[in-house]
Structure formats: structure tokens, C-alpha cells
Amino acid sequence: MRKRNTVIIVLLTILAASYAGNTDAQFWKKKSKRKHKHEQTSDAKSDSTAATTALTKEQKKEKKKKEKEERKRQKLALKHKGKQDSKNATAKKTLPKTTAPVLKKRAEIVYAPTQIKPRYRIDVIAPLYLDDLVKGQYVTYNDKIPEKAVPGVSFIEGVNIAADSLKKAGFNVDIYLHDASSFQESAEILTTKNKLDSTDLIIGAVQSHDVPILAAYAKKKHVYFISALSASDGGVKENQYFTLIQPSLKSHCEWMVKDIAKTFPGQKVALLYRTSPALEESAYSYITGDTADKVSFKALLCNSLPTREKLLYVFDTTRPNVVLVPILDVNYADSILKVLVRDFPEAHFEVYGLPSWNGLTDLHKAKAFPNLSINITDPFYFNPASPSGIYIERSFKKDYSGKPSELVYRGYETLFWYANLLKQYGTIFKYTDNAPAPFTPFEISPQWDKNNGLLYNENRHIFLTRYEGGASKTE
């Protein structure tokens, strides 16, 4: 890797002080002496002078009296002014501070110029555990892939199907695969040993601890890094080259609140929440924080399974209830749902839950939740009856046998969409064009912190799947 010269920018602050003085003009006061002549007069003239002197004394006495009154008046005026100034100063001290916090303006997001190339390189990173699965030339597993390798392998199977599709369509793109679970191809090695230097796009089906490493590298190289599976941002900030296409927990929580406000306007909502584990406490704070649409909640802490008596405080058994349950633990969520079925058989509940609830084993059983309509947010939905869905299913059966899982569809869509964006716009593209995406109408936009600082790009499109009587419908 070529070493880059470090450019140190030194900002010099120049303080200028100005001084203005009038040195050209000077003023002097001149004293003048007057000479007084005294003449002797006659007795008559002396009598006249005595009378004049007596009158002057009266005038001086009157003058002193007026001066004394003037001094007294000025003294009273100064005393009154002092009291008023003191009163004003006290008022200023006691006035409450009403200064509102000033938010900085959102800065314009600047990207490097796009590069249009005759051929593009895409690096795909996923944990495949090939060191465990293959020893030398021999496969170490029999008929079933170890559970830890399933997500990465499934995603890469979808990538391979997309690569074949792109090749048939005449795309000039080279796909490089990397096993993130191998030390030789870990995120640290890939970013420090020149293994990604020629890349035009990085797609990572990686865990959260790899996200900041790859995001920082992508920013340095001015190429996009796409986090395809993890909903965690890894603490990444100020990075316009990092994209989270799996909506975050915050996005799911805010979306549910907005949907409830739209679908059930003005209705109080029962909020059954936990403060442990930490992620569920975060979900509670996202729901009760600032949202575009306000919802009135009747909250009940459910760190232990709630009893009927406690639930009566937040339910109205005379009408349908809307219940928001931001609990990720699928087993604990299942226990709460069964309490609603058992203790309130005559009441109906519109329940909202998170994507992990798709693991509920009884969702497709008609009689499992007879008085519940369960609404689950989903980051993705893949219609197997669509042309792309049919193509993937046939290709998967031909190449790997069996039926493709959700991660196969996600691997296919991620590579197929981004390869189209590269071909159409070059290495830097806008996210306004989601037409080439086979299944998902992606809504990718910049995310900002509370101080209007840039975080990264995130897909905010969320599907809602409604389960009722064992049947389901996704919108």
C-alpha cells in the first residue's frame, strides 16, 4: 500500500487590536489676573458704599441658600437613582434564563467525484468458517452445515446466483469473496494488507465489531461500504460512505409509533416493556422519545411476567386494545401473548412486535392466538411468486438443491441492486434510484444526531406483516 503524506493544516488566528486617541489637540486654561483700584471717597460716597456692601451680603446669603438646596436636591436624585439601579440589577439576576439551545445547521454532504469505469470490482465479505468446514481437500461436515456458518453461507449462495445473473446480462463486474471468520481475511487484515485497495464497492455480511473497521476504510478510500446483515451501526459517525441497509432498532420503534398514530388516532396504547436487557431498555426509550406523531401510552413495566390484575390497569376490556410490546426475546414475548389469550379471552388485542417475533412457532396455527391480531415489523419481504423470486428458487434448486432461505434472497438482491447502481452511476451514486432492486423499495437517507451532526446512510423502509387466525399478509 502506498504511504500517504500526512498534511498538517495549521490554523493561525490573528488578533487585531485598534487604539484610537486624540493626541493632536491639547487644551490649556489661561489664568488672568485683574487689578482692582480702590479710591477714597467722601463721607456721602462712603455711606453709599456701605449700603451697597449690605445689599451684597444679602445677595450672598440668598445665593448660599439656593446652592444648599440644589446640593440637597442632587443628593436625593443620586440616592433615588442608586435604588433604581440596584432594583434593576436584582431583577436581572432573578430573571429566568430563556436561552434556547442553538442547533448547528446540517452541513452539506460532500462526496468524492464518481469514477466511471469499463469494469468494476466488488468485494463481498461474510463469515463462512471455511477453516472449520474444509481441512485440506476434505469436507469436515456430512450432510448439514454447522449452524454458525449458515448465515454467511446462505448469503454467499444468493450472491453467487446474482453473479451468474449479472454475467448473463453482460455486466463487466468482478466479484471477490472473503471469509471474515478466517484470520487471513479478517477485517483488520483486509484493510491493512492491500487486499481491498482496488475495490469499487464493499458489501459486508459481517458482525457489528467489523463494521467500524470497514466503514473507516471505505471513507478513506472514497468507496461505499454496505452493511448487509447487521442492524448495528458499530458506533460509526460522520461517514457518508457507510450504508446500513438493515433498519436499526430505533427505526423499527419509531415506525411502529407512527403506524399506530395513523391507524388508531387518539387511542391510548398499552405499552408493555422491560428495562433489561439493555437493548429492550433502548427500545422503550426510542418509543417514548420524540416522534413525528405522538401517541398516548399507558405503560406497564414487565421485567417479570405481568398478572391479570396488573394488566387491568392498562387495558379496557370493553373495547379492542392496542398493545405495543418492544420485547426482543421471542420466548418472553410468547409468554406475554399467552397471558393475553388465557386471562382475557373475551377481549381483542391489536399487538405490535419486533422482527424477532417471526420466530414464534405458533404464528401460523389458526387457534394459537384466537383473540389477537399480531403486527410484526419486517426489514425485508421477498415474494417468491415474483419473476425474481421464481428465478432465484429455480437457480437455487439447480445449484444447491432444496428451498432458498431469506438470506439467499438478501444476498441476491444486495449484489444485484448495487451492481446496477455502479453500472449506471459509477463509484459514487445517489440513493434515489431503487428501481433495479428486485424486491425492496429501499428508502436510504442520511441519518443525523440530536445536534444535526451526520451519522451515516440508513434504509428506513419497513414492511408490516399481520398475523391473524394463522394467516398472514405483508404490506
pLDDT value of position 136: 64
Based on the domain organization, do 316 and 205 belong to the same domain?
A: no
186 falls within a domain: yes
Based on the domain organization, do 136 and 236 belong to the same domain?
A: yes
Please state the pTM of the whole predicted model: 0.76
pLDDT value of position 23: 32
Q: 438-468: per-residue pLDDT in tens?
A: 999 999 999 999 899 999 999 999 999 999 9
CATH code: domain of residue 339: 3.40.50
Q: How many domains does the chain have?
A: 2
Q: Final residue of a domain: which of 321, 351, 378? A: 378
Based on the domain organization, do 343 and 256 belong to the same domain?
A: yes
Task: Check: CB of residue 414 under 8 Å from CB of residue 226.
Answer: yes
pLDDT at residue 298 is higher than 80 = yes
Residues 6+ apart with CB under 8 A from 223: 199, 200, 201, 202, 241, 427
Binned at pLDDT 50, 70 and 90, residue 249 comes out as very high
- 285-299, 317-331, 417-431, 446-460: least confident range: 285-299
pLDDT at residue 388 is higher than 60 = yes
Based on the domain organization, do 125 and 176 belong to the same domain?
A: yes
Binned at pLDDT 50, 70 and 90, residue 4 comes out as very low
In whole numbers, what is the pLDDT of the chain averaged over residues? 83
Q: 102-122: per-residue pLDDT in tens?
A: 667 888 999 999 999 999 999
Based on the domain organization, do 365 and 396 belong to the same domain?
A: no
Q: Final residue of a domain: which of 356, 378, 400? A: 378
CATH code: domain of residue 160: 3.40.50.2300
pLDDT value of position 145: 82
Based on the domain organization, do 415 and 269 belong to the same domain?
A: no
Based on the domain organization, do 411 and 350 belong to the same domain?
A: no
Based on the domain organization, do 175 and 268 belong to the same domain?
A: no
Mean pLDDT over 355-359 rounds to 95
Binned at pLDDT 50, 70 and 90, residue 318 comes out as confident
- 33-47, 73-87, 396-410: least confident range: 33-47
The residue range of the domain holding 278 is 250-378
pLDDT value of position 52: 41
Based on the domain organization, do 311 and 266 belong to the same domain?
A: yes
pLDDT at residue 86 is higher than 90 = no
